[in-house]
Amino acid sequence: MANINKIKGRIGILTGGGDVPGLNPAIRAVTIRANREGYEVIGIRRGWAGMIDIHRDEKYDNSKNYSILTEELVNKTGRTGGTFLHSSRTRPSHVPKVNVPEHLRDKYLDDVNDLTEDVMKNIDFLGLDYLIPIGGDDTLSYGVHLHNQGMKVIAIPKTMDNDVPGTDYCIGFSTCVTRTIELTHMLRTTAGSHERFLIIEVFGRYAGFTALLPTMAGAANRCVIPEHKFDIERLTELLVKDRETNPSNYSVALVSEGAMFEGQEMVFENAEMDMYGHKKLGGIGDVVSSKLKELSPKYNNGQRVNVINQRLGYIVRCGDPDAIDSIVPMAYGNLALDLIMENTSGRLVTLKNGRYDNEHLEVVTSFKKKVDVEKYYNIDRLRPYYKSFESKPLFIMASD
């Protein structure tokens, strides 16, 4: 372990947004490599929330906001899922008055407040030379903001939707796809036993990768994704035909949580929004299931087909990472340290066409990463195109 009396610098690391398997391996990789190269690593707790909650007082107990990370500590957690640093959906530039830390409430009186000034002061208080945020485009967009304020930032992409621009791969995606395939196959036994439609709602607010890849792998007959508003009549017709040709008399469709009927908008659990302006999605699987049951007699000789409806939800983001979400975070952490040792900042570590690389951090906010429907999704058949695999990356449609 590095001699802290001769440290080269101090690196802060945090995890923001939803938890995914692979976060702890990334934290482990950064910490071990940094310590061995002579850096000290500070773990910021609860994402950007820990960064705004810090009391700039050496005598104050800030252990709920940050801690020094050691090889011994991260080795105990590096094989596990979730994030031992905890997470939040805090956006320091848009903090509602009710969420302003108590010790700052005399200073910030607006309904929504920009706490960036105090974030920068807290970075100085911690003596951070570099900051490594691990998150999706929301979490990393604030990293872009800090970079523009002069902070040295190296970002690591994480999201099971795999929708961070600039990279083919985000930590958590492989485990999500693996679990979706596994759980869908498990649910087939019940669907087959009762000769029903099996409708499974999966993650994917704006991008349909988590529905399209498992379907391509044979987990489902059809899938509907956010990038294309679908015709529920056509889905019903296709699923009835799929059911008729299946010896066990059932059929399966994966439904992205952000999918929409023609003429409809996204389905939300409630109207409450997070600091990034997102309402919590959920319920499109219920709506699709109800409509399929209603419409099925039209395509099934007047007989209704019943539906098994399952939302996978948090079960695909909990637990330990799979092989890819153990290997990629290790590589991403080391890539981040390579950039730091080169005194480079404002970069996003990436995987492009099967090779590790890095990209300008601003790519995170430059466009929305979505499925290229024309290339990869058959809008009539409501399923992926099964063609043109030559020279495609491992996850096929994620390279654009």
Cβ neighbours of 61 (radius 10 Å) = 8
Structure tokens that stand for 106 in this block: 């005399």
Q: Is 250 in contact with 185 (CB distance < 8 Å)?
A: no
Cβ neighbours of 63 (radius 10 Å) = 8
Structure tokens that stand for 217 in this block: 């792998």
At residue 359's C-alpha, the angle toward residues 16 and 148, to 5°, is: 65
Active site residue 161: yes
Judging by DSSP bridges, how do beta strands 39-44 and 66-69 pair with one another? antiparallel
Q: For residue 263, give the amino acid letter.
A: G
Q: DSSP of 14-59, one letter per residue? A: EE-SS--TTHHHHHHHHHHHHHHHTEEEEEETTTHHHHHH----TT
Which residues, at least 6 apart from 167, have a Cβ–Cβ distance to it below 8 Å? 157, 348, 349, 350, 351, 352, 359
Of these residues, 19, 53, 161, 242, which one is catalytic?
A: 161
Q: For residue 37, give the amino acid letter.
A: E
Catalytic residues: 161
